[in-house]
Amino acid sequence: MKPTAILVIALWAHVAPAAAPPALSFSSGEPGDYFTRDTAGRVRVASVHGGQAMVLTDSTARLSDMTVKPATKYTLSLTAAFEGDVESIEENPRFEIFTRPEQTGPRLPSRQIQFFDAAGKSTGRSVVYAMPFRNRRTYQDVFHTPVDAVIARVALTSGKGVRLVLSRLEIAETPDEAAMNANPAFRLGPWNYSGWRNIAAGGRLIQRDGKTVLDTKYGSTGQMIPLSEPGTYALSAIATGNGYNSVVIVRVYDRQGKMLMKASTRRYGPRSYFVPPKNAAYASFLVYSCLLEEVRLVRVGDEQAIESFRQK
């Protein structure tokens, strides 16, 4: 018999199509109340631990679209566990690779967030992560919506041979982190790469003196950070050089992804200041050879403010 995968979802509160980012509950209603018309037929109602849940078998289902604010930092929280004759990070520590962005596999469940503009056109880069922990765990994805995004679409995929139980899903605006970038001090822990897009070969999150630190190796890149207004920006990092050419760089782009400028620092601790061009829309980090404890991008004033900072 062909192995199947069962996705069981039990969340918190009802949501209508294109509703504001909610906390979801599948404790009542039918699949069509939560999922898109074209995927709701893949979902069935089931009883789990005395309550109602939704079950997805060997397929992908999309939740109804949710409205979001452009250029805003959000957190997706998803509590889940899985069963099945497949490996997990608990049995195989090498599965750490599946905690990184866009590292998925056919026998692991995953979640994806896509963004769309007012015309319904896909915009920005999707947020994609696997769910490699067998035991119950709350996954948290901190991300920015693109500057023209108005809709977020969440897709849930069940891996082959897996029973995945989701007990909660919520999307909410992220509390202030004293930085524009997501997860600036890695306080979400050693398996959370929020804020980063590509990790260089050999790079990984490690524990050092009781802190989660990113060993960047030679060239790890951060997610795009929306620059919602002109002004003076400050770049700072707490890091230890760890190899050749240790440096923290921030690259600035226009809406079309054309790079406009770079700013950088090799002094870990003090702030460095810069003024992006007026048509700047995004920034992202590029870090070489650092044990990075934290990195922050902050808007500190209007375009003229840089002169006062240079005089200090």
**Mean pLDDT (whole number) for 30-56:** 80
Residues 253-283 have pLDDT tens digits of 999 999 999 999 999 999 999 999 999 999 9
Q: Would you say residue 251 has pLDDT above 80?
A: yes
Give the integer Cα–Cα distance in Å for 201 and 220: 9
Q: Would you say residue 245 has pLDDT above 90?
A: yes
Which tops the pLDDT comparison, 136 or 146? 146
Q: What pLDDT does residue 163 have? A: 82
Q: Which residues pair with 171 in a beta bridge?
A: 76
Percent of all residues in the chain with a pLDDT value above 90, rounded to a whole number: 71
Q: Would you say residue 63 has pLDDT above 70?
A: yes
Q: What pLDDT does residue 10 have? A: 41
Class for the domain spanning 196-310: mainly beta
Q: Do domains 6-173 and 196-310 have the same CATH topology?
A: yes
**Domain layout of the chain by residue ranges:** 6-173, 196-310
Q: By the 8 A CB rule, do 253 and 261 touch? A: no
Q: By the 8 A CB rule, do 56 and 48 touch? A: no
Token readout for 258 is 């054309």
Q: What is the DSSP string of 225-236?
A: EE--S-SEEEEE
Q: What pLDDT does residue 84 have? A: 86
Q: How far is CA 39 from the centre of its chain?
A: 24
Give the integer Cα–Cα distance in Å for 312 and 308: 7
Q: By the 8 A CB rule, do 268 and 239 touch? A: yes
- Please name the residues in contact with 196: beta carbons below 8 A apart, sequence gap of 6 or more: 101, 214, 220, 221, 222, 223
Give the integer Cα–Cα distance in Å for 165 and 48: 9
Name the fold adopted by 6-173: Jelly Rolls (2.60.120)
Q: By the 8 A CB rule, do 113 and 154 touch? A: yes
Residues 87-108 have pLDDT tens digits of 999 999 999 999 999 999 999 9
Token readout for 101 is 């962005």
pTM for the full predicted model: 0.89
E strand or H helix at 125, and its extent? none
Q: What pLDDT does residue 22 have? A: 66
Residues 188-208 have pLDDT tens digits of 999 999 999 999 999 999 999
Give the integer Cα–Cα distance in Å for 263 and 272: 8
Q: Would you say residue 143 has pLDDT above 90?
A: yes
In 3D space, the residue among 199, 174, 178, 195 whose CA is nearest the CA of residue 186 turns out to be: 195
Helix, strand or coil for residue 96?
Answer: helix
In 3D space, the residue among 22, 87, 88, 84 whose CA is nearest the CA of residue 57 turns out to be: 84
Q: By the 8 A CB rule, do 109 and 7 touch? A: yes
